[in-house]
Amino acid sequence: MNNLEWGSLGFHYRKTCAIVYSRYRDGQWSEPELTGDFDFRLNAFAGVFHYGNSCFEGLKAFRGRDGKVRLFRPDENAKRLQRSAARLSMAYPSEELFLKMCQMCVKANLDFLPPYGHNASMYLRPVLEGIDPQISICSSSEVLFAVMCVPVGTYAQAGALSPVSAVISRNYDRAAPNGTGSYKIGANYAMSLYPYNMAHSQGYTELLFLDPATKTRIDEFGSSNFIGIKGDTYVTPLSDSVLPSITNKSLRVIAEDLGMKVEMRPVPVEEIAEFDEVNACGTAVVITPIRSIDDKPLLEGTEVSRSWAIPSGSVCGVKSRALYDRIRGIQDGIVEDSHNWCLEVC
């Protein structure tokens, strides 16, 4: 048994007991295997090293107040991984294999699953990589599928539901029009590192990207979807370059359960001024409230053309808190899972 301080985990890599992997070769997947060796031996010409033939997922397992272990909506992650892999012309595991390997990973690492009551969970990272050696640009014929995990606390350094500042990225995009922005592909995240680091160096926590075609509409934060609350209305952008967040999808249903109206539509930048609450949402962050947003013509410059102070200010908004409490309650097994989202592992 490890001696981790469950209440102060943060969101960092820690070595656990085992990972699960399967290889696709000659038209079929191998039986999943557990290994404690986290160093895979791959050919230096593997496609993933040269052309980025890789996609991944992120999901969480929770230990509930009743002691049961639950995965939150893993079937949705399986479908999204398949969609991303298809975009890369890669073989992908069936939903059955995906779920089996996620459960194997959780069970093999139960000592690293945080106990209930610490606002912590086990973060699972399924990853799909093209591994056959190649020099020409072509689809991978051999694929590695691995599921690994790490115990995590809150993503934001300030803590759960602590409002943060954001800045708009006008001269950098995370995805191209008609590109791969709506797929969970590794290269999309690599593309955002440079502007993200620049924003962080200026004291901002979040970076808000606009639609790459016109720069007039909100797309999403660097690694999270955008949510705006206006009265009793939940607003989130509809865009071909936004990753379809499973957390956002769940929160939209919860919002309707709570009597809110849900609008998924193009969101002009100017509409920020009309929102009572603004949040970033995703598996890692769940909900991160935004307290202010600056608009800069050039991210590396000092000029701020306009700023918005979000009315909810330095505290999480009332509606956002209700959404957070409901989704976390479902994940922890203390609120009825009326939509059958959770998969009980053990």
Question: Is 249 in contact with 339 (CB distance < 8 Å)?
Answer: no
Q: What is the spatial distance between Cα 140 and Cα 24, in angstroms, rounded to a whole number?
A: 10
First to last CA, the chain: 18
Which one, of 6, 281, 288, 14, lies nearest residue 119 by Cα? 6
Q: Can you tell me the distance from the alpha carbon of 84 to that of 59, in angstroms, rounded to the nearest whole number?
A: 16
Half-sphere exposure of 2 (CA within 13 A, CB side): 17
Which sign does the torsion angle of CA 45, 143, 343, 336 carry? positive
CA distance 73 to 61: 10
- CA 293, distance to chain mean position in Å, is 21
Angle CA 83–136–91, to nearest 5: 25
Token digits of residue 115: 């106990």
Look up residue 259 and give its two tokens.
């009597």
Q: Which of 184, 230, 249, 261 is catalytic?
A: 184
Nearest alpha carbon to residue 57 among 326, 327, 282: 282
Helix then strand count (H, E) for the chain reads 6, 18
- The token duo for 172 is 């950098």
* Angle 209-289-71 from CA coordinates, rounded to 5°: 90
Helix (H, G, I), strand (E, B) or coil at 259: coil
- 184 as an active site residue: the answer is yes
Cα–Cα dist 209/195, whole Å: 10
d(CA 259, CA 129): 42
What is the set of active-site residues? 184
